[in-house]
């Protein structure tokens, strides 16, 4: 019920902004709409129980319009903010600690308007809880906590490595260690096709179709969770072992637009590299991003060795180095990082710890 009321407020805010511009060419911002909440609540036309949740809904509307105008300014396809069905409005955020929610000593979560909710925590909460988001996903409900805590720094180490991500192997390190590509989406395609066919056979708008859609959603969620678990474990291993990690500053979105789009999305390089960055920040490690141009076409001696995508072996005519293409690329990435030369022009990524 709360999500339905939040969706109604979201749609009303979008409608108000649209009408104001169409009728009198007036732009309405977040503060203009937030100042109306008290009057709306007094009139009884605002039924969402918690006031800070109402403000968060309006912030989402403001964020959607800011993104729209940003795309217009950059010349991209704008995509005007759309109305949200209550079936597609899947989360409600309580942005202030203790305002509208409270963790009880019994282990339950008390939510304003919903009562006491039993929690099944997958790990203990560490630090100070700042916000909580109640989220609906594939017919299941989750409570997502954001916390503030101190960084857990690891013992210092002088070891360093470069990482070359790929499709044959998910990643190859500078010492030649290869991380196998699990290809979770590829392996799940048969199951996803069966679920999709079941949805297609159901009558639109029927309860049986909604049940089939939920099964399809859960199949996709399972693949996503498998991929995230793999990324978390491998990034943690790297951060625990190496003090300096050199990676390519890849434009993954650009790489995912061609024939290899499905394989690139299945690998999830962006998520993996982002996990390395924030885990390294909390552990006191260094992550250095280097220019990716030519890393697979260059030898460690500096000689250019052109290769096609089908050429998987590196043979340098200058120094005689013969090794796997990905292995040599990882060594070149580590060289470009300049980790043992502080005066290098390569820029180090400066990140802060956010839990």
As a three-state string, the secondary structure of the chain is CHHHHHHHHHHHHHHHHHHHHHHHCCCCCHHHHHCCHHHHHHHCCCCCCCHHHHHHHHHHHHHHHHHHHHHHHCCCCCCCCCCCCCCCCCEEEECCCCCCEEECCCCEEEECCCEEEECCCCCCCCCEEEEEEEEEECCEEEEEEEEECCCCCCCCCCCEEEEEECCCEEEEECCCCEEECCCHHHHHHHHHHHHHHHHHHCCCCCHHHHHHHHHHHHHHHHHHHHHHHHHHHHHHHHHHHCCEEEEECCCHHHHCCCCCHHHHHHHCHHHHHHHHHHHHHHHCCEEEEECCCCCCCECCCCCECCCCCCCCEEECCCCCCEEEHHHHHHHHHHHHHCCCCCCCCCCECCCCCCC
Annotated active-site residue in 32, 248, 249, 291: 248
For residues 184 and 221, what is the distance between their CA atoms, to the nearest angstrom? 11
Rg (CA), the chain: 25
Q: Please, are residues 308 and 299 in contact by the beta-carbon 8 Å criterion?
A: no
Annotated active-site residue in 5, 56, 62, 326: 326
Active site residue 229: no
For residues 175 and 80, what is the distance between their CA atoms, to the nearest angstrom? 49
Instruction: Give the β-pairing of 313-315 and 322-324.
Output: antiparallel
Annotated active-site residue in 5, 56, 62, 164: 164
For residues 5 and 182, what is the distance between their CA atoms, to the nearest angstrom? 42
Active site residue 76: no
Active site residue 248: yes
Closest to 40 measured CA to CA, from 27, 59, 58: 58
Residues with a known catalytic role? 164, 248, 326
């Amino acid at each position: 019920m709360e999500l339905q009321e939040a969706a109604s407020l979201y749609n009303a805010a979008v409608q108000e902004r649209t009408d104001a511009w169409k009728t009198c060419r007036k732009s309405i911002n977040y503060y203009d709409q937030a100042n109306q909440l008290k009057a709306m609540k007094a009139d009884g036309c605002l039924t969402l129980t918690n006031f800070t949740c109402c403000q968060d809904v309006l912030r989402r509307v403001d964020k959607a319009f800011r993104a729209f105008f940003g795309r217009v300014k950059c010349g991209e396809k704008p995509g005007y903010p759309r109305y949200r069905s209550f079936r597609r409005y899947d989360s409600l955020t309580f942005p202030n600690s203790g305002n509208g929610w409270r963790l009880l000593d019994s282990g339950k979560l008390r939510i304003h308007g919903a009562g006491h909710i039993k929690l099944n925590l997958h790990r203990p909460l560490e630090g100070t809880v700042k916000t909580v988001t109640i989220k609906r996903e594939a017919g299941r409900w989750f409570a997502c906590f954001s916390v503030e805590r101190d960084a857990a720094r690891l013992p210092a180490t002088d070891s360093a490595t470069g990482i070359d991500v790929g499709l044959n192997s998910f990643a190859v390190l500078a010492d030649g260690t290869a991380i196998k590509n699990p290809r979770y989406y590829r392996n799940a395609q048969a199951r996803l096709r069966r679920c999709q066919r079941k949805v297609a056979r159901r009558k639109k708008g029927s309860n049986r179709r909604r049940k089939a859609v939920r099964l399809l959603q859960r199949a996709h969620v399972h693949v996503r969770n498998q991929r995230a678990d793999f990324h978390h474990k491998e990034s943690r291993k790297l951060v625990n072992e190496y003090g300096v990690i050199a990676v390519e500053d890849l434009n993954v979105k650009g790489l995912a637009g061609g024939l290899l789009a499905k394989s690139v999305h299945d690998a999830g390089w962006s998520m993996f590299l982002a996990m390395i960055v924030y885990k390294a920040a909390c552990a006191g490690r260094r992550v250095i991003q280097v220019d990716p141009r030519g890393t697979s076409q260059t030898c460690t001696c500096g000689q250019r060795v052109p290769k096609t995508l089908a050429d998987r072996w590196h043979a340098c005519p200058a120094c005689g180095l013969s090794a796997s293409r990905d292995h040599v690329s990882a060594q070149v990435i580590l060289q470009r990082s300049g980790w043992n030369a502080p005066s290098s022009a390569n820029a180090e990524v400066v990140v802060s710890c956010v839990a």
